[in-house]
Amino acid sequence: MRAAPLEDHDDQQKSFWTKFKEKLGFGDYEDVEDEEVVVVEDTSGRRRMSTVRVNPSRLNRVSVWLTVQSFDNAQQAADGLKMGHQQIVNLEKATPDICTRVIDFLSGVTYALDGFVEKVGDRVYMFTPANYVIEVENGERGRRVQGPFREN
């Protein structure tokens, strides 16, 4: 009986591992990163172009709270911020006490995450973690939440 050459044995073993990896979903594949380009026009007469690069493997989420009526909703919004999701909170139907508590609480969470907060309407606020940047209509950036001991 003659043993198979070593190269043939490696090919058989390789094909077994290849089949095994493919069965588990780890077969050979090539990562391709797509880029999305968005062109933004300025309506003031000047043309300004911005390029936004989007990594399709990491989708960002936006949570819109149509009505916040209790502090429990603020805790859910804070959990979303901690997971990296931007939160738009509508406090129009909340009592003034709940409104103050929710804004203070979410501002504290946003500060801890080095995030941004912006008032986008009457009693409507947008809270974002650090991986978002808010651009306001006049070209300024959103306000980073500043704590009493932070120097910026």
Domain ranges of the chain: 62-144
CA gap 8, 5 in Å, rounded: 5
- Residue 137: alpha-carbon gap to chain centroid: 21
pLDDT of residue 139: 54
Most confident of the following: 14-23, 30-39, 99-108, 130-139: 99-108
Confidence band (pLDDT; 50, 70, 90) for 1?
A: low
CA gap 5, 112 in Å, rounded: 63
**Nearest-10 Cα torsion for 94, 85, 140, 74:** 20
User: What are φ and ψ of residue 34, in 5° steps?
Assistant: -90, 150
What's the pLDDT tens digit per position in 99-142? Answer: 999 999 999 999 999 988 888 888 888 898 888 776 666 655 55
Query: Hey, what are 50's tokens?
Result: 């911005």
- Residue 96: alpha-carbon gap to chain centroid: 30
Q: Could you give the 3-state DSSP secondary structure of residue 121?
A: strand
CA gap 130, 139 in Å, rounded: 19
pLDDT of residue 48: 46
- Asked if CATH classification 3.20.20.70 holds for the domain at 62-144, the reply, yes or no, is no
CA gap 143, 133 in Å, rounded: 9
